[in-house]
């Protein structure tokens, strides 16, 4: 007869973090908002959050936060700052015409990946 073997029950541990999304948009890019309350506005990307699939664009989705005074000398008041919006709601601007364009990726001669504008075929430089 086989001896009894007690196996540990598997515990569920919170929601699993999603893997980062592949995004064509990087910090410093010029983009135009194509959906939402700020539709049509252009701005520079301040931050990219690939795990959440969101971007922070200068002057778009500006929210207000009430701040309490701290002992370190920070004053109380209302702080305005741009909040993240979904990356699918923005499009990169074509370097030639300035119109919103989709992005294609292509390997360069030296093996690095470069972004190409679908409209004009011009490479979109990375601002790092």
User: Residue 83: which CATH number?
Assistant: 2.30.30.30
Count of domains for the chain: 1
By the 10 Å C-beta count (0-12 exposed, 13-18 middle, 19+ buried), 23 is classed as: middle
pLDDT at 128: 64
Does residue 79 form part of some domain?
Answer: yes
Residues 55-70, mean pLDDT to the nearest whole number = 93
Handedness of CA 89, 37, 83, 116 (dihedral sign): positive
Task: Indicate if the pLDDT at residue 126 is higher than 90.
Answer: no
CB atoms within 10 A of CB 59: 13
The answer for 73, left when phi > 0, alpha when psi is -120 to 50, beta otherwise, is left
Task: Indicate if the pLDDT at residue 127 is higher than 80.
Answer: no
66, two tokens: 């009430």
Does residue 106 form part of some domain?
Answer: no
Does residue 37 form part of some domain?
Answer: yes
Does residue 92 form part of some domain?
Answer: yes
By the 10 Å C-beta count (0-12 exposed, 13-18 middle, 19+ buried), 112 is classed as: exposed
Does residue 107 form part of some domain?
Answer: no
Q: Could you give the percent of the chain with pLDDT greater than 90? A: 57
Does residue 127 form part of some domain?
Answer: no
Domain that holds residue 94: 30-100
Task: Indicate if the pLDDT at residue 9 is higher than 80.
Answer: no
Residues 27-31, mean pLDDT to the nearest whole number = 94
- Average pLDDT of every residue of the chain: 89
pLDDT at 10: 75
Q: Could you give the percent of the chain with pLDDT greater than 70? A: 99
pLDDT at 64: 96
Does residue 110 form part of some domain?
Answer: no
Does residue 87 form part of some domain?
Answer: yes
Least confident of 10-19, 68-77, 91-100: 10-19
């Amino acid at each position: 007869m086989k001896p009894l073997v007690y196996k540990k029950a598997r515990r569920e541990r919170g929601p699993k973090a999603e893997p980062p999304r592949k995004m064509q948009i990087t910090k410093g890019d010029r983009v135009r908002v194509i959906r939402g309350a700020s539709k049509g506005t252009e701005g520079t990307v301040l931050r990219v959050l690939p795990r959440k699939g969101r971007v922070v664009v200068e002057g778009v989705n500006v929210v207000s936060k009430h701040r309490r005074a701290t002992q370190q000398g920070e004053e109380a008041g209302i702080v305005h700052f741009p909040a993240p919006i979904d990356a699918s709601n923005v499009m990169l601007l074509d370097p030639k015409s300035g119109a919103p364009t989709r992005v294609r990726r292509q390997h360069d001669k030296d093996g690095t990946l470069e972004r190409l504008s679908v409209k004009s075929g011009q490479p979109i430089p990375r601002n790092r």
